[in-house]
């Protein structure tokens, strides 16, 4: 699978996870009064790009390792904009034993790249944009990922979820961490393409 520079940049956006607001605009797991929300013990700066912030988040070491293994590090400075549904270390821990170790092997680079790019959508879609798109489409917004697959975003009881092609569901636990090249929404489960 050959990625364009733009596609690889989008995949690499997965390095950062963080946030400050829930999908309904309420504070969620970060202090919205601060200009730079804390993620993984580090301040996230909206003037920095994904790479510059991601390397400091201790909650995303698995994602950083995966991006490195996929050979996408050099593309992380891309201008975007990108919307990323970024899984935490705990999300990767939910996968069957050995899955991550297998994916990061050199012989599985294409599969790993497919999984990473499945978490990325071109453009900036804030929590308000996602909610508006869902409302305009009967409660569910269908998004096309850089990988080419579909994700469905929907809400229930004040919480927002992303459903993957296999029917798996991830909750958006932290939304709207703004970066110079996009926006990140933290998810609690790794999304899998069909």
User: Could you give the CA distance from residue 55 to residue 41 in angstroms, rounded to a whole number?
Assistant: 11
At 81-94, the pLDDT tens digits run 888 898 889 999 99
Q: Is-contact 84 176, C-beta < 8 A? A: no
- R_g over Cα of the chain: 15
Angle formed at CA 102 by CA 191 and CA 15, multiple of 5 degrees: 50
User: Is the residue at 192 inside a domain?
Assistant: no
In the chain, the number of structural domains is 1
The helix (H) or strand (E) run that includes residue 43 is strand 42-43
At 3-59, the pLDDT tens digits run 343 333 333 333 333 333 444 443 333 333 346 777 778 787 888 776 677 777 787
- pTM, rounded to two decimals: 0.80
Q: What is the CATH number of the domain that holds 140?
A: 2.30.180.10
Residue 107: which domain range?
5-187
**Closest Cα partner for 67 from 76, 77, 59, 58?**
76
Q: Is-contact 71 63, C-beta < 8 A? A: no
């Amino acid at each position: 699978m050959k990625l364009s520079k733009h596609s690889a940049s989008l995949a690499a956006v997965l390095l950062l996870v963080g946030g400050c607001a829930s999908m309904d605009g309420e504070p969620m797991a970060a202090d919205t009064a601060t200009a730079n929300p804390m993620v993984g013990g580090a301040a996230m700066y909206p003037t920095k790009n994904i790479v510059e912030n991601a390397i400091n988040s201790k909650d995303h070491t698995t994602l950083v390792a995966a991006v490195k293994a996929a050979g996408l590090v050099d593309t992380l400075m891309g201008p975007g904009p990108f919307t990323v549904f970024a899984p935490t270390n705990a999300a990767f821990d939910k996968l069957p034993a050995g899955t991550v170790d297998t994916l990061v092997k050199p012989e599985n680079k294409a599969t790993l790249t497919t999984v990473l790019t499945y978490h990325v959508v071109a453009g900036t879609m804030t929590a308000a944009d996602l909610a508006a798109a869902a409302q305009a489409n009967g409660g569910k917004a269908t998004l096309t990922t850089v990988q080419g697959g579909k994700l469905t975003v929907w809400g229930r009881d004040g919480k927002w979820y992303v459903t993957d092609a296999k029917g798996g569901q991830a909750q958006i636990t932290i939304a709207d961490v703004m970066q110079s090249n996009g926006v990140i929404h933290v998810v609690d489960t790794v999304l899998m393409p069909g």
